[in-house]
């Protein structure tokens, strides 16, 4: 498996060898470019486990179940409707909450917990430039979110989902320092793009199997449409929707 440490070591050795052999600068530039391309892709594709290992699915599960996860909530416009649909189908899910959203809507957060779902840390600000934060700032964001949610619910969260799925050495170090479990996905719905609800649903269901972790967002009407149709699909396929901790046998809280 490709990872940041291995690729960096191999690239340095290659560069050193080229320098010792007095090779053309073109080959040296090529090595650097390849390093940047691989590292750029690895930083943006959480499924590579390039900078840190994330829980992506449970292919070995004996459970006839998948895990639906929601990012970027809670909010008063869509999260209650998501909870209503989940309740209607007796489904459980995992909500990766933004700290400032949880602080603004504590009642919704409490409802998520009361109805048997799991929550995780999705940073405090979900800033567009989060991938450029220093380790100290990442730690501050994650600690702040955990503190806010512990104050509201009494729960000390262990799950963390990287904002935008972006990882890097600073984020990896912060996760290690705080002892968090990074949770990714292996089925990305792309429900926040311009794709139609039908297209998003087809993307999710075309190869869906037991053990998969699905990424959705409780932030739009389109995602609600997709969720309802997905729950109907799971019902027909006799697949349950359970929390990530139940699917992967993990502890979500300290």
* Predicted confidence (pLDDT) at residue 215 exceeds the cutoff of 80: yes
How many Å apart are CA 103 and CA 109, to the nearest integer?
9
Bridging pattern class, strands 93-97 and 118-121: parallel
| 221 confidence band (pLDDT: 50, 70, 90) | very high
CA dihedral 172, 174, 177, 179 (to 10 degrees): -70
Percent of the chain with pLDDT over 90: 94
Of the residues 51, 122, 126, 217, only one is catalytic, namely 217
- Mark whether 212 is an active-site residue: no
Q: Which residues pair with 217 in a beta bridge?
A: 71
* Predicted confidence (pLDDT) at residue 109 exceeds the cutoff of 80: yes
Provide the pLDDT for residue 252.
Answer: 98
Percent of the chain with pLDDT over 70: 100
Provide the pLDDT for residue 1.
Answer: 66
- pTM over the 0.85 mark: yes
Provide the pLDDT for residue 74.
Answer: 98
Are 179 and 158 contacting, i.e. CB atoms less than 8 angstroms apart?
Answer: yes
* Predicted confidence (pLDDT) at residue 180 exceeds the cutoff of 90: yes
Mean predicted lDDT score pLDDT of the chain: 96
Of the residues 71, 191, 212, 245, only one is catalytic, namely 71
CATH code of the region 65-248:
3.20.20.370
* Predicted confidence (pLDDT) at residue 59 exceeds the cutoff of 80: yes
Provide the pLDDT for residue 24.
Answer: 85
- Mark whether 217 is an active-site residue: yes
Provide the pLDDT for residue 97.
Answer: 98
Provide the pLDDT for residue 75.
Answer: 98
């Amino acid at each position: 498996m490709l990872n940041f440490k291995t690729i960096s070591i191999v690239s340095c050795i290659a560069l050193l060898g080229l320098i010792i052999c007095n090779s053309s600068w073109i080959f040296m530039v090529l090595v650097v470019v390849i390093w940047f391309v691989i590292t750029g892709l690895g930083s943006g594709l959480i499924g590579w486990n390039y900078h840190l290992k994330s829980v992506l699915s449970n292919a070995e599960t004996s459970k006839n179940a998948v895990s639906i996860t929601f990012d970027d909530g809670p909010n008063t416009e869509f999260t209650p409707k998501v909870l209503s649909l989940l309740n209607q189908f007796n489904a459980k899910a995992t909500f990766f909450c933004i700290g400032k959203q949880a602080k603004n809507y504590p009642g919704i957060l409490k409802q998520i917990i009361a109805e048997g779902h799991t929550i995780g840390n999705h940073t405090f600000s979900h800033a567009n430039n989060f991938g450029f934060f220093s380790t100290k700032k990442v730690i501050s964001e994650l600690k702040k979110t955990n503190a806010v949610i512990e104050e509201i619910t009494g729960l000390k969260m262990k799950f963390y989902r990287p904002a935008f799925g972006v990882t890097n050495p600073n984020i990896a170090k912060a996760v290690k320092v705080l002892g968090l479990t990074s949770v990714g996905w292996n089925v990305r719905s792309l429900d926040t793009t311009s794709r139609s609800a039908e297209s998003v649903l087809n993307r999710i269901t075309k190869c869906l199997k037991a053990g998969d972790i699905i990424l959705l967002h409780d932030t739009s009407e389109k995602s609600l449409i997709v969720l309802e149709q997905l729950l109907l699909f799971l019902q027909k396929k006799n697949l349950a929707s359970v929390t990530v901790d139940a699917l992967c046998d993990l502890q979500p809280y300290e």
